[in-house]
Amino acid sequence: LLYHVVKPNPDPENPYQFDLQEFETHMAYLHKNGYRTLTMKQYFNILDKKAAMPKKPILLTFDDNSDDFYPYVYPILQKYGMKATQFTVSDWVDGSWNMTSEEILTVMKNGVDIQNHSVTHTFLAELSREEQFAEINDATIALKELTGRKTNVFAYPYGNYNADTISILKELDFKGAFKVGGGLSTDKSNRMELPRIMILQEHTLNDFIRMIN
């Protein structure tokens, strides 16, 4: 699953902002119905046949390290004992509408993976190969300096990428990369074009249930 901003009173004009109360109904549904949230490591171990797949596995991902995550999303994840991945734009850390370094370190210690979402959240396919390399590699360096861990999974900003992007990720030993949308991922999915189900403001609980089934 892919969420962006989750908060009380989301902007009705912004489809990527999702209502906090609705988000909690999603998490409560997953919890009540026996879904098991995965770490990114568990997810890839399952794809690689290195680990058994739980009956109802689900991967929660959030893009853009926006400042709603720590006060709103994180407590709900904690409440239901859920793991998640935060795809982090390195230049946005400590920004005016983003998570602080301290918040990132706190959530990381408590079940949230911090992974790579580029340096500046640009349209990668519009850049030269050298510029793309810097966007990905410099974020890897910055996030490792912050967290002490090397990121090895990427999410394409805007779902935008090309053959150069994929070759750079392989060169830098990334295990995989996620698109925006595209449905359910399986062990047959291209590791550099892993799909996600994007949750938008218009989606009801019934839509959510249908999508995860």
How much is the pLDDT for 101?
A: 98
pLDDT tens digits, one per residue of 162-195: 999 999 999 999 999 999 999 999 999 999 999 9
Distance from CA of residue 88 to its chain's centroid?
8
Q: Give strand ranges (E) for 49-124.
A: 57-58, 61-63, 84-88, 112-116
Helix (H, G, I), strand (E, B) or coil at 72: helix
Q: What pLDDT, on a 0 to 100 scale, did the predictor assign at position 144? A: 98
* DSSP state for residue 53 in the 8-state scheme: P
**pLDDT value for 127:** 98
Q: What is the pLDDT of residue 52?
A: 93
- Whole-structure pTM value: 0.96
The whole-number pLDDT of residue 38 equals: 97
The answer to whether 124 and 99 are in contact (CB under 8 A) is no
| Rounded average pLDDT over 31-48 | 97
What pLDDT score was predicted for residue 167?
Answer: 98
Angle at which helices 163-171 and 129-147 pack, to 10 degrees? 40
82, with CB counted inside 10 A (0-12, 13-18, 19+), is: buried
Read off the pLDDT of residues 101-143 as tens digits, 9 standing for 90 and up.
999 999 999 999 999 999 999 999 999 999 999 999 999 999 9
